[in-house]
Structure 1
């Protein structure tokens, strides 16, 4: 359920972001809200998945590593979007949304294929 539910959230977010160039007005705003809202909601699924899979002695480190990795996007994204806007003007914002959609799609594919707590629970812990 974690991989499929989380992957579905990311997939729906990706579809919404990738559809932004096809929409106008209020529909564009709604797609942005749905795309980034559903994509962001995966954090809840990710935290519970990491907590379930990590051995108790390493749970805090695993959650901290996940948090550090995820929040790095907060450092990188403004520079990337700023660069896109500098080079493409206002169209750079739409390019950034499409790029976000592609990243959400890659995350969805990874979630569908890599998250399997039942399988991972059978692996010996190191």
Structure 2
């Protein structure tokens, strides 16, 4: 398995620096490549290369977006992908005046497992007959908690119903 320390983009500052450099190069890239095409080719032969250049940029984004998301998930864990989605989903159903308080509660509840899980896992390993049995029990407990939380979320979360109840605009977006 590929470990995060082996990745070049295994730190947030490196990721930010790469994104800044990409943005600085990406801005003038389309106009510079189009300018080069117009200098190299006569007017009657510019249509296909121009279309390929524009289509290639869109195709590159189509391929790179899932790939970069996968690399971020690999380098930083799935939390780096799911936390922004969690906040976006919450923002859809919470009125703007209450979002700050709700995000604070969500952040507090979200960090609680980071305090409880190491203690509980250590306790399960220490009280088991063997460390392997304790790890197995801890793994099964974590799986059961995730299964219960997922089931609760699937049965309780209804964004459209909550938005209607709160009087928010629920028209489908095109």
- TM-score for both structures, normalised by structure 1: 0.63
Distance 2:88 2:100 in 1: 12
Structure of higher RCO (CA pairs closer than 8 Å, 6+ residues apart): 1
1:53 Cα shift?
Answer: 1.1
Distance 1:95 1:84 in 2: 7
Deviations 1:44-78 (A, max 9, x none): 43222211111101111111110101101111111
Match of 1:101 among 118, 136, 143: 143
Distance 1:123 1:65 in 2: 21
Deviations 1:3-60 (A, max 9, x none): xxxxxxxxxxxxxxxxxxxxxxxxxxxxxxxxxx66x454343222211111101111
Query: Aligned pair count?
Result: 88
* Residue segments in structure 1 that go unaligned for 5+ positions in a row: 1-36
Distance 2:157 2:165 in 1: 13
CA contact (8 A) 2:95 2:166 kept: no
Larger C-alpha radius of gyration, 1 or 2?
2
Map 1:115-126; keep pairs closer than 5 Å. Answer: 115-124=157-166
Distance 2:107 2:98 in 1: 14
* Residue segments in structure 2 that go unaligned for 5+ positions in a row: 1-76, 168-174
What RMSD in Å do the two structures reach over aligned CA positions? 1.8
Matched, 1:64 2:104: yes
Match of 1:45 among 76, 85, 89: 85
